[in-house]
Structure 1
Amino acid sequence: MNQTDLTLRPPRSVRARLGRYVLLPRLLDKCRATLAGKNGEYHYACPLDQHFFKFTGIDPEALKAEVATGKGDGEILEWIEANATKPREQWEIDQWSRFQETRPVDSDVETLSWFLEIVGKLSKTREDIRTIADYLDVDDYVSFGGIA
């Protein structure tokens, strides 16, 4: 099994794609690390991952069981395509992925306050961190020694 050790490096970016799906490579890294007991502070099937599960209709535990068999990314993608309860056209996947990459933070006061707080912990001067994807990329970098 490809055992990703997320105590040594971050998972792939939210923006990385597999079969046109953003989130999926990161989700698989977290799943493999969780199975290996090497997930560090990363959580498989977190709220961000749930966007993928909802869009495809894939059950997180069923995917986890399939990943546990040791299949690589391409084989897992084939399994997802065969088992999605909400099959999607390529254009739908492209559109969904573009939205996920640029998904704005919810505009309610509580969510905006939370987002400003977590971004502020990374940097007081960065004005380019506007989406969850932006935040996660910078947070992953900083968590493993980079400077925001």
Structure 2
Amino acid sequence: MNWSAPDLTQHPPRSPRVRLGGFVLLPRMLDKCRAALAGRNGEYHYDCPSDQQFFAFTGIAAGALREQVAAGKGDWEILEWVRAHLHPVRTTPEIEAWSAWMERRGPDNPEDREWFNGEHQRLGAARTDIVTYFDLLDADDFVAFGGRA
């Protein structure tokens, strides 16, 4: 697997649970951004609603992060750049709390609940472990590449 230009038509990005510098979603976003820049993002989209949660928390613009990725920076270099551009500045406990909240986050309104339930049904209605958005993303990645829910 080429991590500098992942082919998301052949495998999913990293799980949203994987952390970089304490941030959930960041490794997944980097995979999606690198794949999009290489024209191999498949059904995955950089700057999707989940990614926008990261951008809202960090105060970083999607385009600014994309520029750093396009410059060929590795995960560690990107993390250093993110830390230098946080607005407002975030402490380690704040980052940990946000990441924990994101891991537990599920639909919080009727429209999102309806969409979530439809996706849950599609992936496997009998799966009682699909409760959060991250559960749903992990299950969708698994099923999209041949797994059985």
Shorter-normalised TM-score: what interval? over 0.9
**Which amino acid letter does the alignment assign opposite residue 141 of structure 1?**
F
Partner-residue secondary structure (3-state), 1:38: coil
Could you tell me how far apart the structure 2 residues matched to 1:113 and 1:80 are? 34
Partner-residue secondary structure (3-state), 1:28: helix
In structure 2, runs of 5+ residues without a counterpart are none
In structure 1, runs of 5+ residues without a counterpart are none
Give the paired residue count: 147
Equivalent in 59, 63, 66 of residue 64 of structure 1 = 66
**Which amino acid letter does the alignment assign opposite residue 131 of structure 1?**
T
* Identity within the alignment, %: 55
- RMSD, aligned α-carbons: 1.0
1:70 CA displacement: 0.7
**Which amino acid letter does the alignment assign opposite residue 62 of structure 1?**
A
Q: Which residue of 2 aligns with 1:3?
A: 5
1:112 CA displacement: 1.4
**Which amino acid letter does the alignment assign opposite residue 115 of structure 2?**
W
1:114 CA displacement: 1.3
Q: Give runs of ≥4 in structure 1 deviating > 3 Å.
A: none
Could you tell me how far apart the structure 2 residues matched to 1:18 and 1:7 are? 23
Could you tell me how far apart the structure 2 residues matched to 1:113 and 1:95 are? 27
Q: Which residue of 1 aligns with 2:87?
A: 85
**Mapping for residues 54-133 of structure 1, pairs under 5 Å:** 54-106=56-108, 108-133=109-134
**Which amino acid letter does the alignment assign opposite residue 17 of structure 2?**
R
Could you tell me how far apart the structure 1 residues matched to 2:54 and 2:146 are? 29
Could you tell me how far apart the structure 1 residues matched to 2:61 and 2:106 are? 26
Partner-residue secondary structure (3-state), 2:33: helix
TM-score normalised by structure 1 residue count = 0.96
